[in-house]
Every structure is written in structure tokens, then in C-alpha cells.
Structure 1
Amino acid sequence: MLFNGWSGIFRIIIMALTVYPALIFMLRISGKRTLSKMNMFDMVITVAIGSVVASIILSDKMTIAEGLTGLGMLILLQFVVTWLEVRSEGFTSMIKGEPQLLLYQGHYMEKALKQERVKKDEIRQAIRADGLASVEEVEAVVLETDGTFSVIKHKPHDGQSSLKEVGGWKRDEE
């Protein structure tokens, strides 16, 4: 069916005009972390929020109160998880995992590459994207918990290494 009357169209317009500002308000009060780079939990919440918003706007079986309650619960859960992350390293490792060393001083970490399902050409691409011409210019490449690559340029070690919490890094070099 292509068209079932104007009442459904008007309902969607009213729901969108109501839910969108409510979503913006809820995200604003929940803090910047709700919209930060995504780890696995953040992605799940983002997809769930999108699904709830779509359901609120498009489903004639869901009331605004029910939809906003669902939306509020997801944002509250995100807030609680991030609050716990800041206060508990054990909880953080359960939710985020740890960054993984993929290249160190010119050597690819073969076991980590296989475990993380990353190809060497992806690492070289990350190095090029960072403006470097060769692997030798790189101290390390780390796969971060949000799926991005961090390229650390080779420089003398005068201070504490940024690789401290990275899986696969030789901790005896601290």
C-alpha cells in the first residue's frame, strides 16, 4: 500500500517533532561521553537508541511516554556504565578490553595481528595516514579499544611511555 491517509503522516511528524528535541535534551544532560568514540558497549547503545527513536516515531503501537521511558533508560544505562568505568579498572577491562600492540620497533606482532584480525597492509595504511613514509619511522602501532590505530613515532624515551597499558608491550622497559 502506498498511502493510507494523512493521519499516519501527521502522527509521524508530531512524534518526530516531539522525540527529536527530547533526544537532544537527554543526550545533552547525559554528557559528552555518550557521544564519544565508540567501544563495543557504546556502539550497542547507539544502535539501540536509534532503534528506539525509530520505533517511537514510526510505530503507532508505542506511546510517547513508553518510547521516552525506553530512551531514557538506555541513556541512564550508558551513564551508569561510564560512571562505573571511571571508578573501576576491572569494570573498564570487562567493557572495553585493552589496547593491543600490533607493531613494535619495526616488528609485526604476528599473534596479535591474527587475534585482532588485522592485516599488515592496514598497519602500513595507518602509518601513511599519519604522514610517515616508512615503518622504520614508527616506534609502535596500537589498535585502540575503539578500533582506531594509534601510530607512535620513533623518538627518544625521556619520560613514561604511552604504551604502558597496551597489551603485548614489554613491561620490563617501563
Structure 2
Amino acid sequence: MNDLIDIVLQTLIAFFAILFITRIIGRQQVAQLTVYEYINGITFGSIAGTVATDLGQSTWGHIIGLFLFGGLTLFMAYLSKKNRKISKIIQGEPVLVIQDGHILEKNLEIFHYTVDDLVHLLRKKDIFNITDVKYGILETTGELSVLKLAEKENVTTEDLKLKTSQEELSTDIIVTGKIIYENLKKRNITVNWLTGQLKMMGVKNINEIYYATLDKDNKLYIDYYNDNLEKPVEITE
């Protein structure tokens, strides 16, 4: 019976402690949390859970730890607001991953994202062709912000009274220098045809290619490891 009463009291203490600290720290939507904030929240909740249920150790020790962790979180949030460099260390910074339809592989790897992850994020933005993208920025929350090419902005053909053909999904043909043979088979494309097309496009070695797709008209889109952009854009200081 005493254990039950202790659990009830400790749970109430943990509940109102979290309520008090989170009200001070502030709030964000889960989708807007950085990795640091997400892990911080999990740790915070874990400590609170220990406060509520652990009867084997000092309750006050756990409570002090809970408030200390909350205080450190608040202190780091304060430092982040006051100092841009500290904010970049703690929160990270956005990274440009697409420029003028080219994937910036080295920047993508900073987030440990694969090309499949990037394509998935583009589809969530209703973008099925990387060449439609002027700039793609991977935010610290893991979300992708996209600026389309001017001619690809969302003006409907119905508005302009134009007749157009329906665009179809492209097929992944090469990913990180490796041919996707299953997809070639689905499109009734031979390896000889593909290598011939690559030679005509000046590709000397398939390992030069980071990502390649084939559209409905068998037109190849190729993104190279070395993009050789004339004017690479920097979005951070």
C-alpha cells in the first residue's frame, strides 16, 4: 500500500515538474524539432518516468536531476539565441542538396541521407523530376524546402487553356554507380543500349554517376558525383 502511495505521489511530482519546465522552455511541433531537441525530449521523458516509478532510490535525487536537466536545456536554448556560432553547433544548419537539378552528394552525406531519402522527400513535395528543382535545401529538422524552376511553378495548363501530355514516373537506372538491372528488365532495356547511351553522353566510367533515371521516352537524366557547377551557391555564412 505504501509503495502504491509513493508511486502516485512521485507520478504527480513528475507530471507537474514536466509541465512546469516545458512551459518555461517553450514548445514546437514535433515535425519542427531538430535531432538534438528530439533526443533531448526523449531523455527528459525517461528521467521523468524514472521519477514516477523508481522506488529503489532517492526520489528527491531524481527530481533534482530532472530540474537540472531542464535547467541545462533552458541555458543552452538561451545561449543559442545569443550566439550564432553556438546555435550552429547545437542546432546544426540547413544544407543545400540540390542546385539547378544537380544533386550535391557531399552535402547530402552531411545528413547521412541517401538518394532514395532525397527522392522520397521530393515526392512528398509533389516533385517527381529532379530537373524541375532550382534549389533544394535540407533543413535542420530533416525536412526539404524546394524552390522550383520558374517554368515549373504551379500554373495549371487548364488555366492557360493548353493541351499537354501526361508526365509519367521516371525509373531509377543507376544509383551510386551501380546499374539497377531489375529496372532495366522492366523497361525492356538492355545493358548494351544503356552503355551506348552513356558513351554518347560522354560518360567514360559508370562509377562517375551518382544517380540516373529514365523517363517514359527513354530520355536519361544523369547526376554525376562531380557536378562541376559554374556558380556553386553557399547558403550559410
- TM above 0.5, one fold? yes
**1:147 maps to what in 2?**
142
**1:67 maps to what in 2?**
62
The answer for unaligned runs of 5 or more in structure 2 is 152-231
Matched residues in 2 for 1:47 and 1:144: separation?
Answer: 21
Q: Deviations over 1:90-116 (max 9, x none)?
A: 111221232222111110112223343
**1:170 maps to what in 2?**
233
Equivalent of 1:104 in 93, 99, 103: 99
Q: Deviations over 1:12-37 (max 9, x none)?
A: 23321232122112211222369783
Residue 56 of structure 1: CA displacement?
Answer: 0.6
Task: Report the TM-score when normalising by structure 2.
Answer: 0.57
Higher normalized contact order (CA 8 Å, seq sep 6+, divided by chain length): 1
**2:133 maps to what in 1?**
138
Residue 48 of structure 1: CA displacement?
Answer: 2.1
Structure 1's consecutive aligned runs of 4 or more residues displaced over 6 angstroms after TM superposition are none
Matched residues in 2 for 1:115 and 1:92: separation?
Answer: 17
**1:57 maps to what in 2?**
52
1:86 aligns with 2:50: no
Matched residues in 2 for 1:153 and 1:8: separation?
Answer: 61
Matched residues in 2 for 1:34 and 1:143: separation?
Answer: 18
Distance 1:20 1:105, change over 3 A: same
Distance 1:62 1:126, change over 3 A: same
| Number of aligned positions between the proteins | 156
Write the letter of the residue equivalent to 1:113: L
Matched residues in 2 for 1:36 and 1:71: separation?
Answer: 25
Matched residues in 2 for 1:44 and 1:95: separation?
Answer: 12
Matched residues in 2 for 1:72 and 1:34: separation?
Answer: 23
Residue 155 of structure 1: CA displacement?
Answer: 3.7
Judge conservation of contact 1:27–1:34 (CA < 8 Å) in 2. Answer: no
Equivalent of 2:25 in 26, 30, 54: 30
The answer for unaligned runs of 5 or more in structure 1 is 1-5, 157-168
Write the letter of the residue equivalent to 2:46: S
Sequence identity (%): 21
Judge conservation of contact 1:12–1:58 (CA < 8 Å) in 2. Answer: yes
CA RMSD of aligned residues (A): 2.8
Write the letter of the residue equivalent to 1:32: R
Task: Report the TM-score when normalising by structure 1.
Answer: 0.74
- Structure in which a larger fraction of residues adopt strand: 2
SS of structure 1 residue aligned to 2:147? strand
Residue 64 of structure 1: CA displacement?
Answer: 4.1
Larger Rg: 2
1:17 aligns with 2:80: no
